[in-house]
Amino acid sequence: MVSIPKIYSGVTEYRLRPGGALHTTDSYLKFATGREGVSKNLISMFDSMPMSKPIVIFIRRGDAFSSGLGMTTAYLASPHAVRLCEIDGTHPDNELYRINPDKVAAVVLCRLNRPSWLPAGKVFGPGLEIVSIGEKG
């Protein structure tokens, strides 16, 4: 009896929806960016980048949303190698200065501000921006 209300609310909280191959990541990314079907776009984008170069993902220290977004992006970026960089604050300018653009395929900003000197990337909602550094030849 004690647990019935909790279980009832757990069962009735969500409705059955058609599930796709990227069902979970789409849900996570919709929650973070507000957009539908982002996973497929991310995979296509990463596929268009040179596989030999890593993806650098910037996340904000102490921000669980940023960190979750970064890890989900890292999950989808395979088979690229990824580097997760945790920074304090919302401006990764110093860290970006240290990056050699010839050795990186893309920079991903998770709930962080892109410096004005960095070319605009593809924006997926308010929290996710991917700046492609070198396209596949």
Partner 1 sequence: MNAIGLFGAFATLFAAGYGLLVLLIHRSARLSLAEQIAFSWLFGTGAVSLLLWAFGFFADGLLLQGLVSFVCISLGMVGWNLKKPSQTRSKARWFEVVLTPVIAIEIAIVFYLSFVHTLGWDGLLNWEIKARYAFANGGVLPAAYFSDTGRAFSHPEYPLAIPFTELWLYLWLGEPNQFCAKTIFPAFYVAGTFLVAAFTARLSRRTWLGLLMAALLFFVPQITVEVGCASAGYADFPLSVFYLAAAGCLFCASERGNDVFFRLYAACLALLPWVKRDGLILWIVAAACGVFVILWRRKSPLSLVAFLPGIVIICAWRLYLNAMHALQAVDFLPFNLETFRTHVDRATPLLSALLAEFCNLPTWSLFWFIVAVAFLYALPRMRDPGVVALLLALIAPIVLYLSLYLFSSWPNYLDHVGLSISRLLMQVTPVGFLLIALAISRRPERRPQRVQMPNRATCAIARSERTAVVELA
Residues that bind partner 1 (CB under 8 A): 2-4, 6-7, 9-11, 14-17, 19-25, 27-28, 54, 57, 68, 71-72, 74-75, 78-79, 81-84
Angle at 55 between CA 74 and CA 99, to 5 degrees: 135
**17 or 120: CB nearest partner 1:** 17
**107 or 119: CB nearest partner 1:** 107
CB 101 within 8 A of CB 79: no
Q: What are phi and psi of 67, to 5 degrees?
A: -65, -40
Which of 35, 68, 59 has its CA nearest to residue 110? 59
CB of 16 to partner 1, least distance (A): 5
CB of 53 to partner 1, least distance (A): 13
Q: Can the peptide bond before residue 5 be classed as cis, meaning omega within 30 degrees of 0?
A: no
CB of 116 to partner 1, least distance (A): 27
